[in-house]
């Protein structure tokens, strides 16, 4: 999986490319641990990632909770069909801000 982070003041955008699965999810976790300090607006761009397994969902949920606790926001952008199915099947479509 390829991850690219763009920081602009308190805004952080992470572009994901590839599959967010059990083997790659720790890479996202490490990147967020490193970059999330002081961030108020987090955008995760899924334009090139339409495979998200439960390991990926765990990180998204943990990050969502962190952002919420610091009164920040987390947006999932450019969600594809398969990822959207996963979000609806797990009820997370009602939890996350999906754009």
Partner 1 sequence: MKEENVLRIPAKLEGMDVILAFVSYLLDTHGCTPKARTQLRMAVEELYVNVTLYAYPSGEGWAEIRGSIEDGVATFCLIDGGTPFDPLAKPDPDILLSGEERGIGGLGIYMVKSMVDEVEYAYRDGCNQLTLKKQL
- Where on the chain is the footprint of partner 1 (CB under 8 A)? 21-23, 50-51, 53-55, 57-58, 61-62, 64-65, 68, 81-82, 85-86, 89-92, 94-96
Is the CB of 8 or the CB of 79 nearer to partner 1? Answer: 79
CB of 11 to partner 1, least distance (A): 21
Contact 88, 94 (CB under 8 A): no
Q: Which contacts qualify for 78-82: CB closer than 8 Å, 24 or more apart?
A: 78/45, 78/46, 78/47, 79/46, 80/46, 80/47, 80/49, 80/50, 81/50, 82/50, 82/51, 82/52
CB of 39 to partner 1, least distance (A): 18
Is the CB of 7 or the CB of 47 nearer to partner 1? Answer: 47
DSSP count for the chain of H helices, then E strands: 3, 5
CB of 76 to partner 1, least distance (A): 12
Is the CB of 7 or the CB of 58 nearer to partner 1? Answer: 58
């Amino acid at each position: 999986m390829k991850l690219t982070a763009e920081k602009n003041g308190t805004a952080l955008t992470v572009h994901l490319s590839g599959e967010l699965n059990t083997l790659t999810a720790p890479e996202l976790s490490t990147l967020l641990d490193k970059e999330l300090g002081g961030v108020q607006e987090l955008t995760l761009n899924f334009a090139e990632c339409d495979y998200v397994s439960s390991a990926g969902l765990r990180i998204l949920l943990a990050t969502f909770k962190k952002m919420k606790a610091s009164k920040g926001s987390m947006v999932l952008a450019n969600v594809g069909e398969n990822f959207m199915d996963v979000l609806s099947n797990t009820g997370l479509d009602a939890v996350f801000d999906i754009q």
